[in-house]
């Protein structure tokens, strides 16, 4: 997936940092794909939808980087088909 400049800068915003921490806490710092628990720095928060600065917590999921990448790869395959 190609990210826009807006998306990249929104990931640095205070709003996003706060929201990200809340999602990680809600998911008990565990990947929702494989269940691996990890540090707050390693985990990533996946966007189900991209409503920049208006994300709902229910549309965000905690993933370990490997699982996060798999989700995006799978999504790209679906888009190709
Ligand atoms: Zn995982």
Per residue in 30-54, pLDDT tens?
Answer: 999 999 999 999 999 999 887 777 8
Contacts 24+ apart (CB under 8 A), 48-51: 50/7
Q: Which domain holds residue 34?
A: 5-80
Query: What's the average model confidence in pLDDT over 25-31?
Result: 97
Average pLDDT of span 16-24:
94
Centre of ligand 1 from the C-alpha of residue 58, in Å? 18
The verdict on pTM exceeding 0.95 is: no
Q: Is the pLDDT score of 18 beyond 70?
A: yes
**What is the CA(61)–ligand 1 centre distance, in A?**
11
pLDDT tier for residue 26 given thresholds of 50, 70 and 90 = very high
Structural domain count of the chain: 1
Residue 63 φ/ψ, nearest 5 degrees:
-135, 150
């Amino acid at each position: 997936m190609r990210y826009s400049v807006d998306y990249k800068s929104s990931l640095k915003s205070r709003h996003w940092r706060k929201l990200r921490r809340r999602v990680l806490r809600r998911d008990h710092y565990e990947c929702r794909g494989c269940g691996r628990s990890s540090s707050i720095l390693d985990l990533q928060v996946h966007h189900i939808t991209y409503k920049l600065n208006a994300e709902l917590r229910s549309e965000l999921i905690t993933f370990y980087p490997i699982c996060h990448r798999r989700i995006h790869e799978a999504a790209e395959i679906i888009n190709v088909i």
